[in-house]
Structure 1
Amino acid sequence: MRILMVTAGSRGDVEPFAALARRAAASGHDVRLAAPDRSGVDLTGIDVRSLGVDFSAMIESQGVSPLAAMRNLRQVVRPVMRGVIVNAAHAAREFRPDVIVSHPKVLSAPLIADALGIPHVLVELVPAVTPTREFPAAGTVTRSLGPFNPLTYRAASAAGAMFGREVGEAADVMGVKRPRRSSAPAATLLPISPAILSRPRDWPESVVLTGAWRSPVTDAAAPADAAASPDPAVDAFVRGGPFVYAGFGSMAAGDPVARGRALVDAARARGLRLLVATGLGGIVVPDDLRGDDVFMTGSVDHAAVLPHAVAAVHHGGIGTVQAAMTAGTVSIVVPFIADQPFWGALLHRQGLGPAAIPQRKLSADRLAAAFAEAPTYAAAVRSAAERMSQEDGTGTALRVLELSRSAERLEPRR
């Protein structure tokens, strides 16, 4: 089977697709991954087609503020989204897949599938597209609105409507008229562990909570100590005694120096060393606070580092949430935007971590209190990690893709 996977966004949006691409290729399928440039994900051994866009550059230039995104819609956001939407169509015309698997930002994927007469499988990286009465869409509000929860899922379709012109360009590439309504996905996959998110009872059967998608090298089935950091200096620090990990990935809003100072002061107050992954600049440790108990690096292999950490301070993206949970490490979530407050609130509600600390309210005192509280959640996190070790997320997803291909092929649109 020829599988075209198309994703859009930063590292957390690309990494799961890379894991599924590797699993599908290892199972004998012909797989191509169309992805943004400079995601920071190791794509070695994968047939990759560039979408010609750079989300990291966009984040570096304007940060992660939704208001900044709206202000720069024409100059920055729209050109990037055009690259995703239109180049996905070019990738499909070149590859001629039997099925297309796409990120929700790839707004052209449904019309591409209809134009080729193939199934389309949506990958809902966070629960923000398929409505449910059980909780609001991730990225909207963190408290349940009861019977009004389904209304929060309209935000995704409203955002998509902003790029109708670009979708029309993709239709031109495919040689079809832009349809008023495209076919629904043959299936929707959520690469999320049921140990973290319980499947809503009102989701359709076509919506599958698969479990996390991990590449074989970071498979949770391997012993935690089996992974060694590729950086000898990081590895030496990790094995030098108790430490806290801190990293905010591509989140760089606010005052990174103040965050660095709060992290160092809180760790020292609890007698802990600190390993900092600076990412795109979300944490800066001032020179006067540096010492042998603080190690700074650009990024780390979560599978190599997190199993050894006593706690992980991070922004609460689902990729990092699942990496920490897989490692059996308590998360201290400092959410910035989008779905991050959703995961921070969910972990605390389920007894899997301290209450989230919004990045604007981050302080040494709050962090130190969270460090002190973290051990009380350790047993519950280890139990969740054991459940996750039994999951085969990419295997489950691949079986769904194979079943979608076996369904009756559609007639291509003219």
Structure 2
Amino acid sequence: MLLATAGSRGDVEPFAALARRALDAGHDVRLVVPDHSGVDLTGLDVVSMGVDYSKLITQQGVSVAAAIRSYRSTVQPLMRAVIMESAKAAMDFGPDVLVTHPKILSAGLVATSLGVPHAVVEIVPAVTPTTAFPAAGTSTRDLGRFNRYTYGAASAGGAMFRRDLRDVSRLVGGTYGRTAPPAATILPISAAVLDRPADWPETVHLTGAWTQDRVSALDPATADFVAAGDFVYAGFGSMAAGDARARAQEVIGGIRAAGYRALLATGLGGLEVPAELRGDDVHVIGSVDHAAVMPQAAAAVHHGGIGTVHAATAAGTVSVLVPFIADQPFWGARLRAKGLTPDPIPQRRLTAQRLSAALGAVEGFSPAVRAAAGQMAGEDGTGSALRIIEGLR
């Protein structure tokens, strides 16, 4: 199997989990990934695609405007590397099956050239049209039968990077525009947070989250803080946008006002905690294994990326969502509709008062979240995905 993904940590972790499960099952697995994702890839056969999303986020944040301004200088070369290097890795490896993130636009060309099946891993529901909800990253309003039209953006990539895809065609000896559709589309998402639409084709599978059966050890200081209990976790991952210091002030103020201690993960710039905000009731760390801290947390304040949504829900911990961009408002709307979270607080409207009020309401959502955790405990998303992929050969 050749597995290829592009993006930040949340795009790499599920693929690493699948690679380990496939390796344990006796498959020959190669993983093509960006550099410096922060994911533990120890023991895996890894090929770099020569791009660094973490560096890009550190340099220009997650601003859509910044991405547009740097399209020719940064975004276009990055996507060319993603498209070309993953194709080269696949041709070099010669897999029996190709499993890729939707950003790997060259996957269909490569799979057709090699004569092997191809599965797309839809990390968030933004590719397969449905009338049940709009594509993640477009609208949080239910547009009814018009929901299907919000999925058109997913097909725009082929047109934007037509020249690069023609180069891939020449590389693999294929014909641009002549590719077989994916044999399967797999969503590593739990049914506890997303109901499977009835109008999805049978080839589209909602498997449950792809997770690794391992928990990273905490450093002694963090372990002591967690063991003392009565804390709220807060972290915004790679959401480097706006004033991270002012955001930390509101977060700490809200957690303190609600009567809790604060465990803050600064990530790639989502939070910046100056000395004057620190104290015995505030513990700051760059990043932390969610599985090691979420079960002990009174609540989890986060941006609403699907990886963190899964981690908090699986731990039975109520999320307080502060969405920034992309699919995050979508997950806020989905969780709110399922009664799993208070009303999300858009990041531009985050205040200590609003956060304190939300934290004061989390206990009312605990029964529903614990029930969802029980449902997730019965899922084996990674194993289900592997069985689907094995069936494609």
The alignment's TM-score, normalised by the length of structure 1, stands at 0.94
Q: 1:258 Cα shift?
A: 1.0
Structure 1 runs of 4+ aligned residues shifted over 3 Å read none
Q: 1:241 Cα shift?
A: 2.3
Q: 1:176 Cα shift?
A: 2.4
Q: 1:385 Cα shift?
A: 0.3
Q: 1:97 Cα shift?
A: 0.2
Q: 2:317 aligns with which of 325, 329, 339?
A: 329
Q: 1:229 aligns with which of 205, 217, 234?
A: 217
Equivalent position of 1:224 in the other structure: none
Aligned length: 393
**Deviation digits for residues 29-66 of structure 1 (CA, Å, limit 9, x no counterpart):** 00000000000000011110111110111111111111
SS of 1:404 mapped into structure 2: coil
Matched-pair contact (CA < 8 Å) for 2:299–2:320: yes
Unpaired segments of 5 or more residues in structure 2? none
SS of 2:223 mapped into structure 1: helix
Q: Does 1:217 align with 2:214?
A: yes
Equivalent position of 1:253 in the other structure: 241
SS of 2:51 mapped into structure 1: coil
SS of 1:217 mapped into structure 2: coil
Distance 1:132 1:110 in 2: 22
Q: 1:230 Cα shift?
A: 2.9
Q: 1:231 Cα shift?
A: 1.1
> Residue 213 of structure 1 aligns to which amino acid in structure 2?
W
Distance 1:230 1:328 in 2: 20
Q: 1:172 Cα shift?
A: 2.0
**Deviation digits for residues 85-117 of structure 1 (CA, Å, limit 9, x no counterpart):** 000111011110000000000000000000000
Q: Does 1:106 align with 2:94?
A: no
Q: 1:286 aligns with which of 270, 274, 285?
A: 274
Superposed, which structure 2 residues align to 1:112-123 within 5 Å? 112-123=110-121
**Deviation digits for residues 103-162 of structure 1 (CA, Å, limit 9, x no counterpart):** 000000000000000000000000000000110000000011001000000011123421
Matched-pair contact (CA < 8 Å) for 1:51–1:84: yes
Q: 1:187 aligns with which of 180, 184, 207?
A: 184
Distance 2:167 2:214 in 1: 39
Equivalent position of 1:206 in the other structure: 203
Percent of paired sites with the same residue: 62
Q: 1:352 Cα shift?
A: 0.2
Q: 1:390 Cα shift?
A: 0.5
Matched-pair contact (CA < 8 Å) for 2:295–2:316: yes
Matched-pair contact (CA < 8 Å) for 1:238–1:305: yes
Equivalent position of 1:374 in the other structure: 362
SS of 1:370 mapped into structure 2: helix
**Deviation digits for residues 247-276 of structure 1 (CA, Å, limit 9, x no counterpart):** 111101011011100011111111100000
Q: Does 1:357 align with 2:345?
A: yes
Superposed, which structure 2 residues align to 1:20-35 within 5 Å? 20-35=18-33
Q: 1:173 aligns with which of 171, 175, 196?
A: 171
Matched-pair contact (CA < 8 Å) for 2:83–2:105: yes
Unpaired segments of 5 or more residues in structure 1? 219-227, 406-414
CA RMSD between the two structures:
0.9
Equivalent position of 1:410 in the other structure: none
Q: 1:229 Cα shift?
A: 3.3
Distance 2:293 2:217 in 1: 7
The alignment's TM-score, normalised by the length of structure 2, stands at 0.99
Equivalent position of 1:51 in the other structure: 49
SS of 1:212 mapped into structure 2: coil
